Amino acid sequence: MMKLKVRTTRGGATGFLKPLDLLLVVVMVMTFMLAGCGDATPGATATLPSTTATTSSGAFLPQYWPTTGWRTSTPEEQGVDSQQLLTTLNHIEQDNVNVRTLTVTRNGYILLEAANQPFTLNMPYQVYSVTKSVMGALVGIALHEGFLKDVNQKVLSFFPERTIANRDQNKEAITIEDLLTMRPGLDCGDDKLNGAMEASKDWIQFTLDLPMASAPGQKLVYCTAGVHLLSAILTKATGMPTSVYAQSRLFDPLGIASADVKWDKDPQGITIGGYGISMKPRDMTKFGLLYLAGGKWESKQVVPEDWVTASTRVHATGENQKDYGYLFWVYPTHFAAEGLGEQMIKVVKSRNMVVVMTSAIDWHKGPVILRLLEDYIIPAAKSDKPLSANPVALQSLRDKVAYLNNPLKPVQALPPIARSISGKAFSLPDNPVGWKNLTFNFAEGKAEVQINVVQQNGADQATASVAVGLDNVYRIETLEGGGFAARRAYWADEKTLVVQQIQSAPEIQETEARLEFSGDRLKLHVEEKVFGTYSYDFEGTIS
């Protein structure tokens, strides 16, 4: 079938959507698991210790290490208010904050986990530029092991075999630290390049050839291409792919299995430095806990403690109190690894909290996740001591979890137009999504509609029948080659059917199709809902 190319930016990867799977989704139903309801390893009653263990520099050390399994706790046992967490969930649901998964820990214990249907906590998520913070950790480890001398090493010294364009005194002066702090001076801003590196045959050569926009070390410019240079440098220095080095030095000590981490490569086989990792939420939480603990894990200093400190303090000043360290964002209240769509690992040192979210939110729409953290989640940590048990609030929270875990709603009565068009095929002109005709099969009171789609791909046609839930529950289809497409629909008015889809492969995408019926005519509007990367309008008639 014809494939439609869709590019994401800001550290994202290029992906392809099958047009048949463009019937997509914008509002997601949250299914939540409270600590104690999931598969975390239960232990003895988890309470705050009378004294908190710390490293020499004062970093928090948990009572146990979740290398082989997490322990859970009630919120109150860790000084967190269940009612405030309930308020958080209500806000997410009522305001349609498109959070896919949510994990809240304090003192190393899982207090709350969330996964929106059809997603699960056990699947890996493409976390985009969260990858950059992992790269920052690897640079610190490589420095400690002697593979790199110091952060003042010149970048071009690692590429003596290459002929580099636009070579001048400023380019010669770029250091490893300049790449770590997003201040290389290269004309490499993501908004400027807009996928040009990915379109080139040799990403490293492309980046090295870029002209200089300023002297290095002066201005913070978000530059994914520069972080990819760090991966090439690390590969040269260690003699192994960055992903292999990461597994042995970082992921293995944390108990993160290689099968649970996927990391993409560039055309030359170099591990992508600026994005490309897929991880499970609990493994993301382990990375956050590692940094909360000053780089220590069990009896091993995985990341040098002074490197953690250096990485999470301000080196480059940004906007709106959002500054930059060594490939970490630094806020007044916390530091964070962040990725496209608001993938987040938030580390709140003052509260011993790690908050992990995978989301589908356009960052241009404002700091939605930052407000969620600072207005709802951080304030839930009321005390450094256990709170009095609050069984009423805890039960309300669990009741909310149970409700969100089963989003079933009564099926809407079919409008008259649904009865008149059921079973009739709508023919469509040539269109960007390749649909030739659509047939809708409705039945009064039935919880789903079957949509038959004839897809044109060159001279070939393919026919498929997809189930779409009408009861607020997605119908899930396993896609060829892995992944899934999940679909549901609702009647927005007497003549407009809104069909929503979530597709998980090759990367998660969300699309909405609005279908307006009028007599024998059909108007369609198909739109990618999160990043607005495509939008199409076309019409059809009953054949």
> For the segment 6-41, what is each residue's pLDDT rounded down to a tens digit?
333 334 333 323 433 433 333 344 444 554 444 444
Provide the percentage of residues in the chain whose pLDDT is more than 70. Answer: 90
What does the alpha-carbon distance between residue 18 and residue 501 come to, in Å, rounded to a whole number?
12
504 has pLDDT over 60: yes
Region 185-197: what's the mean pLDDT?
A: 95
Higher-confidence residue: 111 or 34?
Answer: 111
- Long-range Cβ pairs for the range 438-441 (8 Å, 24+): 438/522, 438/540, 440/497
Those residues whose C-beta lies under 8 Å from the C-beta of residue 202, and which sit 6 or more positions away, are 267, 268
Give 461-490 pLDDT, tens digit per residue. Answer: 889 899 999 999 999 998 887 789 999 999
Report which secondary-structure segment, H or E, holds 233. helix 224-238
312-322 tens-digit pLDDT: 999 999 887 78
The DSSP secondary-structure symbol of 197 reads H
- The pLDDT, as a whole number, for residue 402 is 74
Give me 463's structure tokens: 């026919």
- The pLDDT, as a whole number, for residue 17 is 34
Q: pLDDT tens digit string along 237-273?
A: 999 999 999 999 999 999 999 999 999 999 999 999 9
Per-residue confidence (pLDDT) for residue 462, from 0 to 100:
87
Q: Which residues of 489-513 are buried (b: 16+ CB within 10 A; e: fewer)?
A: bbbeeebbbbbbbbbbbbbbbbbbb
pLDDT band at 116 (very low <50, low <70, confident <90, very high): confident
The 10s digit of each residue's pLDDT in 141-169 is: 999 999 999 999 999 999 999 999 999 99
Spatial contact of 339 and 11, defined as CB atoms under 8 Å apart: yes
pLDDT at 45 over 90: no
pLDDT at 80 over 90: yes
**110-130 average pLDDT score:** 90
Pairing verdict, β 521-528 and 535-542: antiparallel
Residue 226 near residue 197 (C-beta atoms within 8 A): no
pLDDT score at 373? 95
Neighbours of 317 (CB within 10 A): 12
Q: What pLDDT sits at residue 290? A: 98
Confidence of residue 1 (pLDDT cuts 50, 70, 90): very low
Is the pLDDT assigned to residue 506 strictly greater than 80? no
Convert the pLDDT of each residue in 339-366 to its tens digit: 999 999 999 999 999 999 999 988 777 6
Contacts 24+ apart (CB under 8 A), 427-432: 427/540, 427/541, 427/542, 427/543, 428/522, 428/524, 428/538, 428/539, 428/540, 429/538, 429/539, 429/540, 430/456, 431/536, 431/538, 432/4, 432/19, 432/534, 432/536, 432/538
Q: Pick the closest to residue 136 from 265, 282, 315, 298 (CA basis).
A: 315
| DSSP one-letter code for 379 | G
| Mean pLDDT, rounded, for 93-119 | 90
Return the structure tokens found at 80. Answer: 């967190």
Q: How much of the chain exceeds pLDDT 90, in percent?
A: 72
> What is the per-residue pLDDT across 394-417, written as a single tens digit (0 to 9) for each?
988 888 777 776 778 999 999 999
* Structure-block tokens of residue 177: 């630290």
Band (pLDDT 50/70/90 cuts) for residue 127 is: very high
Task: Please give the structure tokens belonging to residue 36.
Answer: 């104690």
Place of tokens 């001076």: 185
- Long-range CB pairs of 452-459 (<8 Å, 24+ gap) are 452/425, 453/20, 455/1, 455/2, 455/19, 455/20, 456/2, 456/430, 457/1, 457/2, 458/2
241 contacts 276 by C-beta, under 8 angstroms: no
Torsional sign, CA 197, 198, 200, 201:
positive
- Give the CA count within 13 Å in the CB-facing half-sphere of 296: 18
The larger pLDDT score, comparing residue 49 to residue 183, is at 183
- Of the pLDDT bands very low, low, confident and very high (cuts 50, 70, 90), residue 505 is confident
pLDDT at 320: 76
Chain centroid offset of residue 315 CA: 25
The residue-averaged pLDDT of 328-333 equals 96
Tokens representing residue 4 in the block: 């439609």
Q: Average pLDDT over the chain, rounded to whole? A: 89
Among 15-19, 69-73, 188-192, name the one with the lowest average pLDDT: 15-19
When pLDDT is cut at 50, 70 and 90, the band that residue 2 belongs to is very low
What 147-154 contacts at long range (C-beta under 8 Å, 24+ apart), as own/partner pairs, is 147/234, 147/237, 147/238, 148/176, 148/233, 148/234, 148/237, 150/176, 151/175, 151/176, 151/177, 151/180, 152/176, 152/177
Average pLDDT (95-103) is 90
Name the DSSP class of 54: B
Give helix 130-145 / helix 224-238 axis angle, nearest 10°: 30
The span from the CA of 183 to the CA of 314, in Å, is: 13
The answer on pLDDT for 430 being more than 60 is: yes
pLDDT tens per residue, range 360-390? 988 777 688 899 999 999 999 999 999 999 9
* pLDDT of amino acid 467: 96
436 alpha carbon, distance to own chain's centre: 34
Q: What is the pLDDT of residue 23?
A: 37
Q: Would you say residue 79 has pLDDT above 60?
A: yes
* Exposed e or buried b per residue across 157-187, where buried means at least 16 C-beta atoms within 10 angstroms of its C-beta: ebbeeeeeeeeeebbebbbbbbbbbbbbbbb
